[in-house]
Chains A and B, each alone.
Chain A
Amino acid sequence: MYEHLETAENRDSLKRVVVDPVSRVEGHGKVTLLLDENNKIQQARLHIVEFRGFERFIQGRPYWELPVLVQRLCGICPVSHHLAAAKAIDQLVGVDPDNLPVSADKLRRLLHFGQVMQSHALHFFHLSSPDLLFGFESEINKRSIIAVLGEYPDIGVQGVKLRKYGQEVIRMVSGKRIHGTGAIAGGMNKALSKAERDYLLEDIDQMITWSKNSVALIKKVHCANLPYYDEFATIRTNYLGLTKPDGALELYHGGIRAKNAEGETLMDHVDYCKYNDYIHEEVRSWTYMKFPYLLSLGQENGWYRVGPLARVNNCDFINTPLAEAVRVEFKAHSNEAMVHSTLAFHWARLIETLHCAESIKELLHDPDIMGGELVAQGEKRYEGIGVIEAPRGTLFHHYQVDENDIVTKANLIVSTTSNNMAMNESVRQVAAEYLSGRELTEPLLNNLEVAIRAYDPCLSCATHAVGKMPLQLELLDADGKLIDKLVKHNNGQIERL
């Protein structure tokens, strides 16, 4: 691993190169490199530079506002936050997942499949396909979906329409493409009408075909560039995610499974309500994003990856036929038990997109989505935990309320946060293996962004924490010379340096 590049000695004597902002990701982050006189990289870090505070400001709000409030964490995956919060507040009204009405469960799944599909399509086609189709060091004016539409119009249009279709699924179920409503405590607020169902059915076969084509495309791109694609930014890690009881890929509800780099099971079918017994988070002074890790393995070895690569690696099979067939091909391309290639995130992401399209079709033919009981009720509880597989990985929402139904405590572990250490390791791998010792140019630096982009990070989602965040205040004179510096440490202590 490359952790030795996290903090350099003699930092004041090193040259500093900054990639700011990291582009074509959600949110704001930057990469800093420290180089010696021979351009050898001594330190590489991904910093998250925005600061929000969601966990704090939802305290004091009534619990039923949560599914709507937390959607504001994100403009790309609001449905994931909406559903994770809904699953948590189901428990606050005494409804466990098994007791959710069948129609409500299926409508939520339909909503979620639409969400994952649109988010994955956005990431692959809009944000990453320029790197993959034109090359990591291509001209800047080629690094956009507009350039893809120009040179690969069929691929570009299919990508835009796949995303649009996912957004339409969301709109039909929740009323709006972004920040709609749908899930409420104990169920859903409406079923799909026949007209809405028929509207979505019109194009679903086309979406399945295009999703299948997109998997073939990424397989072709990946395999045409072996072993480079298998080695670039690649790290060998643990993987964590939800699976169904039978080991199948699961995006909405399941037990926690974690495997190590050799594919050995570290935990399986763990009730996510007990996540606190298995996962802890660490804070570091140079970033607003925390570092989660498996308690059993400790901070140093317990970090893990989540998201499409983790899910497709961890599951035993996928319960839709086309996606299962391409999953088998995906696993077979590697000669290891787990596929560790960071760029294989793209491949896994498109396998999941195909799974979503197939699952949407299945649900659209299910009469339960058009009626039946939508809301269940139970006995009030004071604590609720909702976990879901968001597009970027496992998402935890944990709330406590008082006797007046007011939120007193909130803890969110967001998918991107779980990938924090991995993204930093991938950045350091690229810095060490591909950049170190070379004269750095802008196209070369895009390699760092390609590595980060593979994880599809949502940096806005991941910077919600407040209270333990280290802060640093520097006062510079007119010449840029540092004349004063205050540091607030993780424990709240303030020190003048």
Chain B
Amino acid sequence: MIKPVLVFGYGNLSRGDDALGPLVLEYIEEHAKHVLPSVDILCDFQLQIEHALDLENRELVLFVDASVACESAFDFAELTPVRDKSYTTHAMSPAAVLAVYQDIKKQVPPPCFLLSIKGEKFELGEGLSVNAGQHLAEACQFVGELLSTLDSRKWRQNCVSV
């Protein structure tokens, strides 16, 4: 049941723009169904240690998260394992999840990328902000194009702020 590609959107649908990651998954399920035979969709609230095991036997992984740090609508970057302090919290960074994978598996993780979508408001019970809605549309278009080529070398060519 393990598919070669994993798209992992994380965030809380009930916290305003924090829903951006899960909403990208909804977009894929509705508008990019043709990729689903080779792409697993995984949604969760936050990243935890166990998620390192979701990287097992993958060829390519895309994390999708909301971010306040983006300078434009979204950023796309390749990840490398980093042992930061986030493992002591409820929410690990994706780079720390990769580091756990490396610790557990004693091998380099599969190529992993992070799509960060600019969010502004994260209040409980709020919907998506107007600006985040625009950023989501741009990011979804980008994801659609990205998934048309499931090739890490091609993905790397997109690793610049858009």
Per the 8 Å Cβ criterion, residues 398-435 of A in contact with B are none
Q: Is B44 an interface residue (CB 8 A)?
A: yes
Q: Is the CB of B104 within 8 A of A157?
A: yes
Please state if B100 and A149 are interface contacts (CB–CB under 8 Å): yes
Which A-chain residue is minimally distant from B90 (CB atoms)? A75
Bound state CA distance, A167 and B104, in angstroms? Answer: 18
CA A182 to CA B87, docked complex, whole Å = 31
The dominant DSSP class at the A interface is helix
- The answer to whether B1 and A164 have CB atoms under 8 Å apart is no
Q: How many A-B residue pairs have CB under 8 A?
A: 35
**B107 beta carbon closer than 8 Å to chain A:** no
Chain B residues numbered 27-64 whose CB sits less than 8 Å from any CB in chain A: 43-45, 49-50, 52-53
Q: Are B45 and A178 in contact (CB under 8 A)?
A: yes
Chain A proximity of B44: nearest CB distance (Å): 7
CB neighbours (8 Å) of B103 from chain A are 146, 149-150, 153
Question: For window 106-155 of chain A, which residues contact chain B by CB distance below 8 Å?
Answer: 126, 144-146, 149-150, 153
Residue A381 CB within 8 A of the other chain: no
Smallest Cβ distance from A10 to chain B, in angstroms?
A: 39
Q: Counting CB contacts under 8 A, is B88 at the interface?
A: yes
Instruction: Assess whether B87 is in contact with A146, with CB atoms less than 8 Å apart.
Output: yes
Residue A163 at the B interface, CB < 8 A?
Answer: yes
Q: Is the CB of B104 within 8 A of A160?
A: yes
What's the minimum C-beta distance from A168 to chain B, rounded to whole angstroms? 10
Contact bitstring B1-14, A, C-beta under 8 A = 1, else 0: 10000000000000
Interface size class of A (residues with CB under 8 A): 20 to 34
Q: Find out whether the CB atom of A167 lies under 8 angstroms from the CB atom of B100.
A: no
Q: Contact at B44–A145, with CB atoms within 8 Å?
A: no
Give the chain A neighbours of B44 by CB distance below 8 A: 177-178
Within 91-119 of B, Cβ neighbours of A (below 8 Å) are at 100, 103-104
Contact B1 A199 (CB under 8 A): yes
Q: How many residues of chain B get a CB closer than 8 Å to chain A's CBs? A: 14
Q: Mark A153-190, 1 if CB is under 8 A from B, else 0.
A: 10011001101100100000000111000000000000
Contact A167-B43, Cβ < 8 Å, known A146-B87, A199-B1: no
CB distance from B154 to the nearest CB of A (A): 31
Residue pair A163, B50 in contact (C-beta under 8 Å): yes
- CB-based contact B49/A126 at 8 Å: yes
Q: Say yes or no: A195 contacts B1, CB within 8 Å.
A: yes
Given the interface contacts A177-B44, A195-B1, does A145 sit within 8 Å of B49 by beta carbon? Answer: yes
* Least Cβ–Cβ distance between B13 and chain A, in angstroms: 10
* Nearest CB on A from B16, distance (A): 17
Minimum CB–CB distance for B18 against chain A, Å? 15
Query: B50 contacts which of A146, A153, A164 (Cβ < 8 Å)?
Result: A164
Within the complex, the shortest CB–CB distance from A176 to chain B, in Å, comes to 7
User: Judging by beta carbons under 8 Å apart, are A176 and B43 in contact?
Assistant: yes
Which among B1, B49, B53, B87 has the greatest number of chain A C-beta atoms within 10 A?
Answer: B49
- Select one of A75, A144, A150, A157 contacting B88, CB under 8 A: A144
B residues near A164, Cβ cutoff 8 Å: 50, 53
Chain B residues in 8 Å Cβ range of A160 = 49-50, 52-53, 104
User: B43 contacts which chain A residues (CB < 8 A)?
Assistant: 176
- A156: nearest chain-B partner, CB-CB: B104
Hey, which chain B residues are within 8 Å of A150, CB to CB? 103
Give the nearest-CB partner of B1 in chain A. Answer: A199
Q: List B contacts of A75 (CB < 8 A).
A: 45
A144-B87 contact, Cβ under 8 Å, with A176-B43, A178-B45: yes
Is B50 a contact of A167 with CB atoms below 8 Å?
yes
Closest-CB distance, A309 to chain B (whole angstroms): 26
Q: Are A146 and B100 in contact (CB under 8 A)?
A: yes
Enumerate B50-92 residues with CB–CB distance to A below 8 Å: 50, 52-53, 83, 87-88
Can you name the residue of chain B whose Cβ is closest to the Cβ of A125?
Answer: B49
The distance in angstroms between the C-alpha atoms of A146 and B48, with both chains bound, is 12
**In the complex, what's the smallest C-beta–C-beta distance from A153 to chain B, in angstroms?**
7
Interface residues of A (CB under 8 A from B): 75, 126, 144-146, 149-150, 153, 156-157, 160-161, 163-164, 167, 176-178, 195, 199
A149-B104, A177-B44 are known; give 4 further A-B pairs, CB within 8 A.
A144-B88, A146-B103, A153-B104, A176-B43
Task: Provide a sorted-by-A list of 27 A–B residue pairs whose CB atoms are within 8 angstroms.
Answer: A75-B45, A144-B87, A144-B88, A145-B49, A145-B87, A146-B49, A146-B83, A146-B87, A146-B100, A146-B103, A149-B103, A149-B104, A153-B104, A156-B104, A160-B49, A160-B52, A160-B53, A160-B104, A161-B53, A163-B50, A167-B50, A176-B43, A177-B44, A178-B44, A178-B45, A195-B1, A199-B1
